[in-house]
Amino acid sequence: MGNSQILFIAGHARLPEGMAAQNMYETITVTAEVDRVYGVVLEASCTLATEHGRDYIGKILKGFSLRHDIEEVIKCIEEQYYGKAANAIIAALKDLHYQFQQVKQVQRPC
């Protein structure tokens, strides 16, 4: 069932008040399908309110490896995303990276 070489990982963070997405959710979630061996993000999305925002974050993350430090992706968010959720997205990315590191420590083949 499915491809055992792909992991599905989620990172979470609290959203600031006054956002459209905050009315639906209190947290933002960034999800990613990640190559088990190389840590490369194959697809990604998040719980921003607009499809355009979700797609944009997915495009930024696609192709990035979670095996490396995430400062490069954080810099992209800081330089390219000017919405109210920027800090929450960065916090969720840090959590996503942490979750991947935890999976890699206890990883066993499927």
CATH number for position 23: 3.90.1010.10
The answer to whether position 1 is within a domain reads no
Starting at the earlier edge strand, list the strands of the sheet with 27-35. 6-14, 27-35, 41-46
Number of domains the chain is built from: 1
pLDDT for res 88: 94
pLDDT at 79: 96
Within 10 A of 79 (CB to CB), how many other CB atoms are there? 8
Which residue numbers in the chain have pLDDT < 70? 1-2, 18-25, 107-110
Q: Which domain holds residue 52?
A: 6-106
pLDDT of residue 97: 97
Is 88 a member of any domain?
yes
